[in-house]
Amino acid sequence: MQPASAPAGAVSPKAIFPFVPSVSLDTLWFQVAGTLCNLKCTHCFISCSPTNNNHEMLTLAEVRERLREATALGVREYYFTGGEPFMNVEMMAIIEETLRQGPVSVLTNGLLLTPERCRKLKRLSDQSEYSLDIRISIDGYTPEVNDPIRGEGTFGKILAGIRNLADAGLNPCVTVTEACGEAANAQGRTKFLEWMRGIGLPRPRLKILSLFRIGAEEQRLRAYESWESLRGRHLQEDEAEKLQCSSCRMVTSKGVYVCPILIDEPRARMGETLEETLRPFELAYSACFTCHEYGVTCRT
Amino acid sequence: MTETVRIDFFGGIYNNAHALRAAIADVRRSGSDGIYALGDFGGFGPHPDRIFPLLLEAGVAVIQGNYEESLSSGAEDCHCGYTDPRDNHFAQISYDYTSARTSAQWKAWMGTLPKTRRFEVAGRKVLLVHGSPRKINEFLWESTSPVIFLEKLLRDHDADVLVCTHTGLHWRRRLPSGRLVVNAGVLGRPANDGQTNVWYARLTFGRDVEVEFVPVVYDYEALAREIEEEKLPPAFAETIRTGWWTTCLEILPAKEREKGNF
């Protein structure tokens, strides 16, 4: 499923894939827990697990340095993901420091959201003039649907995490992937929203995520087929601006990548400093097809 | 003594002629050197064609919002920029209603309006936009528009003072450079705070720029009844009567959402 050879760097007149321009740097992602996770979800597009050290954890000092770079570039918002961000022992300090500079979203599986940690998160949120958004993943509103994907016994643990957030006064955004078949249709959405109200979220926030058929997901359901590609396509300006990669970058322990999805693709590593990565990127990957075709953004 | 200039800014009107009349009367009572309306005259409320004569008669200078851009170009939806299906569902009801009841002459007029306005007052470059300087439907929320982002935005667009609307919620942020960003809020629906009044912004330019958000008390019950008579969703009338947003709120950032009832 690897794309044909794609030249890095400047636009080539013979490019077979369209290039997305770098319009601005609005959203800065951090692979803050590397690819280390306390779960091993069967649909994970970067195959995170307790033993995956492909990308390492980021330190507070590394994040601080990136925040300094972000200042000059006028970054609007910061997202932290992994792996499981709260496995990073400096995570609370990282959130606190980042919230001084802008809004923060944390993508978590909820397993480490103890009552005490949730209360601390609420304090950090209240101290800041900017939003702290906790996004929590679940793959069904019953253990029967969720656990085969996220792991035996995870449903109850995720539910406890959501309740701890709600008890602390935080209103998380719940994300569900289309691996949960019901999430893809309007009726299923309604059921999810009802379920969320029932577990103590009176203002339920739900985001449905598309699947990327890379990483573990290749084995769970299927890999991309050859037609799922932007080969030969021309990108209109408004189409380009809808793609998250026109206005985001992802920092991992290995450098700066184009987006949160392609961190296992060596050619998606665009450089070491943020500024040098603000150039066009060739949409040579099947995952790019998913974003373009289904209007996917990893933003909340 | 430094001479001061007072300018009033109306955000989205959303077909709320009752609030618009009250706001114009309020501005006239207290004296003003100019009124600007920042777009989104339609949507949500009833009887769109009642808005435009009020604006023209009061000498309000206007710019396009995404509504005027969409209506004048024959677009099929409002391009509000929502991402959630429930937001889009109610936005479509509003847009279809407004589009069907806005006469062709007013749609053509909308197409002639500028998307931005610039002027200089008391040595400051003022930029008026609907959403943001870079996009007509970009949401500038208080909790997700940090200082460093706004500094760059105003620097890139050569503005000392930026006035916008589009989000429905009013706020201001003074930047370390001395620049100022004001979201004027909206006259169209309450500010999701359990109060029935709506808001506009009054800026007084002198040695400094003073910002005042002015609450507008109006006959909301009359508006709610018209919404019902026009068979618009009951949830719209509920918002008008309670001051809590019931629709088009999935777009709210975490902090703003926390303050509402739904």
Decide: B15 and B188 in contact? Cβ < 8 Å.
yes
Cβ-defined contact of A125 to B253 (cutoff 8 Å): no
Q: Which residues of B touch A77 (CB under 8 A)?
A: 144, 146
| Neighbour count for residue B112 (Cβ, 10 Å) | 9
Q: What is the count of structural domains for chain A?
A: 1
| Arithmetic mean of pLDDT, B125-152 | 98
Q: Which residues of A touch B262 (CB under 8 A)?
A: 202-203
Of all residues in chain A, the percent with pLDDT exceeding 90 is: 89
**Of the candidates B77, B74, B63, B59, which has an alpha carbon nearest to the alpha carbon of residue B13?**
B63
**Is there a domain that residue A9 lies in?**
no
> Whole-angstrom Cα distance, residue A22 to residue A281?
8
Kindly report the nearest CA distance between residue B251 and chain A, in angstroms: 9
Say what the pLDDT of residue A218 is.
93
Where exactly are the structural domains of chain B?
5-259
3-state secondary structure labels for all residues of chain A: CCCCCCCCCCCCCCCCCCEECCCCCCEEEEECCCCECCCCCCCCCCCCECCCCCCCCCCHHHHHHHHHHHHHHCCCEEEEECCCHHHCCCHHHHHHHHHCCCCEEEEECCCCCCHHHHHHHHHHHHHCCCCEEEEEECCCCCHHHHHHHHCCCHHHHHHHHHHHHHHHCCCCEEEEECCCHHHHCHHHHHHHHHHHHHCCCCCCEEEEECCCCCCCHHHHCCCCCCCCCCCCCCCCHHHHHHCHHHCEEEEECCEEECCCCCCCCHHHEEECCCHHHCCCEECCCHHHHHHHHHCCCCCC
- From B142, which residue of chain A is nearest by alpha-carbon distance? A130
Say what the pLDDT of residue B260 is.
92
**Is there a domain that residue A287 lies in?**
yes
Give the one of B144, B260, B262 whose C-beta lies nearest to A103's C-beta. B144
- Where on the phi/psi map is residue B90: left (φ > 0), alpha (ψ -120 to 50), or beta? alpha
Give per-residue pLDDT as tens, B235-253: 999 999 999 999 999 999 9
**Is there a domain that residue A2 lies in?**
no
The interface predicted TM-score of the complex, written ipTM, equals: 0.95
Q: What is the DSSP letter of B144?
A: G
Of all residues in chain B, the percent with pLDDT exceeding 90 is: 97
Res. A185: pLDDT tops 90: no
How many Cα neighbours within 13 Å face the side chain of A271? 12
Q: Which residues of A touch B142 (CB under 8 A)?
A: 129
| Arithmetic mean of pLDDT, A77-97 | 98
Cβ-defined contact of B143 to A131 (cutoff 8 Å): yes
Mean pLDDT of all residues belonging to chain A: 93
CATH class of the structural domain B5-259: alpha beta
Say what the pLDDT of residue A10 is.
44
Give per-residue pLDDT as tens, A113-158: 999 999 999 999 999 999 999 999 999 999 999 999 999 999 999 9
Say what the pLDDT of residue A237 is.
86
**Is there a domain that residue A5 lies in?**
no
Q: Cβ of A187 under 8 Å from any chain B Cβ?
A: no
Mean pLDDT of all residues belonging to chain B: 97
**Is there a domain that residue A243 lies in?**
yes
Say what the pLDDT of residue A9 is.
41
Res. B80: pLDDT tops 80: yes
Give the one of A75, A132, A170 whose C-beta lies nearest to B148's C-beta. A75
Q: Cβ of A32 under 8 Å from any chain B Cβ?
A: no
Say what the pLDDT of residue A8 is.
43
Res. A4: pLDDT tops 70: no
Res. A7: pLDDT tops 70: no
Res. A21: pLDDT tops 50: yes
- From B153, which residue of chain A is nearest by alpha-carbon distance? A74
Res. B168: pLDDT tops 60: yes
Q: Which residues of B touch A70 (CB under 8 A)?
A: 148
> Which tokens go with A282?
């060739």
Res. A5: pLDDT tops 50: no
Outline where DSSP puts E strands in B35-169: 35-37, 61-62, 117-121, 124-128, 161-164
Say what the pLDDT of residue B132 is.
98
Cβ-defined contact of B149 to A171 (cutoff 8 Å): no
Range of the domain at A76: 19-294
Res. B93: pLDDT tops 60: yes
Say what the pLDDT of residue A181 is.
87
| CATH number for the domain harbouring residue A47 | 3.20.20.70
Q: Cβ of A133 under 8 Å from any chain B Cβ?
A: yes
Q: Which residues of A touch B255 (CB under 8 A)?
A: 125, 130-132
Give per-residue pLDDT as tens, A26-57: 999 999 999 999 999 999 999 999 999 999 99
Cβ-defined contact of B148 to A133 (cutoff 8 Å): no
Cβ-defined contact of B262 to A203 (cutoff 8 Å): yes
Give per-residue pLDDT as tens, B209-233: 999 999 999 999 999 999 999 999 9
Which residues, other chains included, contact A42 with Cβ-Cβ below 8 Å and sequence gap of 6+?
A: A148, A149, A179, A216, A217, A219, A220
Q: How confident is residue A14, by pLDDT bands cut at 50, 70 and 90? A: low
Give per-residue pLDDT as tens, A236-288: 888 998 999 999 999 999 999 999 999 999 999 999 999 999 999 999 999 99
Cβ-defined contact of A133 to B254 (cutoff 8 Å): yes
- From A242, which residue of chain B is nearest by alpha-carbon distance? B81
Q: How confident is residue B1, by pLDDT bands cut at 50, 70 and 90? A: low
**Is there a domain that residue A228 lies in?**
yes
Kindly report the nearest CA distance between residue B53 and chain A, in angstroms: 34
Cβ-defined contact of A103 to B143 (cutoff 8 Å): yes
Res. A11: pLDDT tops 60: no
Q: How confident is residue B5, by pLDDT bands cut at 50, 70 and 90? A: very high
Q: What is the DSSP letter of B253?
A: -
| Arithmetic mean of pLDDT, B64-69 | 98
Q: Which residues of A touch B143 (CB under 8 A)?
A: 103, 129-131
Res. A86: pLDDT tops 60: yes
Of all residues in chain B, the percent with pLDDT exceeding 70 is: 99
Cβ-defined contact of B152 to A73 (cutoff 8 Å): yes
